[in-house]
């Protein structure tokens, strides 16, 4: 059920263990929100995230739709939003702090979504773009070229 909520149509509903293991026990940005909202305005989202990380002192986060609260601080929060990096390209690239790097490596945050699980969501995004219902996804790689 969790994978259905995250991806709308995960690749394997009969054997979901691999996808579930990759997403569980991690602070993540919802693939739906990342694809249909944040990917359209990644620079504004990055500015918002940076302001929160800079100005707020927090030790717990209450995620939407999941057990809460979870112990997570600034580096966990920033690691979860690393999904924006692929959209922003080099002009927004900054070297992560050691704590952010450690958090990403230790698996408390996830910034990778399995491509097979993203197929339905990507198709929906393309359909909504073709209708003019949502903006086209911003790509840092295209901008840099």
pLDDT score at 9: 65
Mean per-residue pLDDT for 102-126? 69
**Alpha carbon distance 136, 118 (integer Å):** 17
Q: Which residues contact 134 (CB under 8 A, 6 or more apart)?
A: 36, 40, 125, 128
Q: In the chain, what percentage of residues exceed pLDDT 70? A: 64
Beta bridge partners of 61: 70
Map out the domains of the chain as residue ranges: 2-144
Q: Say whether pLDDT at 51 is over 90.
A: yes
**Alpha carbon distance 110, 19 (integer Å):** 12
pLDDT score at 6: 59
Mean per-residue pLDDT for 16-35? 77
Chain center to CA of 63: 13
Q: Classify 27 as helix, strand or coil.
A: strand
| Closest to 75 measured CA to CA, from 114, 105, 115 | 105
| Closest to 137 measured CA to CA, from 83, 95, 96, 92 | 83
Contact 86, 95 (CB under 8 A): no
Q: Say whether pLDDT at 78 is over 50.
A: yes
């Amino acid at each position: 059920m969790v994978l259905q909520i995250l991806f709308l149509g995960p690749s394997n509903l009969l054997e979901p263990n691999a996808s579930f293991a990759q997403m569980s026990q991690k602070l993540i940005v919802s693939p739906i929100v990342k694809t249909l909202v944040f990917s359209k305005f990644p620079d504004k989202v990055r500015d918002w995230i940076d302001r929160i990380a800079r100005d707020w002192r927090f030790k717990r986060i209450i995620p939407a739709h999941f057990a809460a609260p979870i112990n997570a601080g600034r580096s966990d929060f920033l690691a979860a939003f690393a999904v924006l990096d692929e959209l922003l390209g080099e002009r927004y690239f900054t070297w992560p702090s050691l704590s952010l790097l450690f958090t990403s490596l230790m698996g408390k945050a996830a910034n990778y979504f399995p491509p097979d699980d993203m197929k339905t969501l990507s198709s929906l995004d393309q359909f909504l773009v073709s209708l003019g219902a949502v903006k086209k996804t911003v790509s840092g790689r295209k901008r840099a070229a």
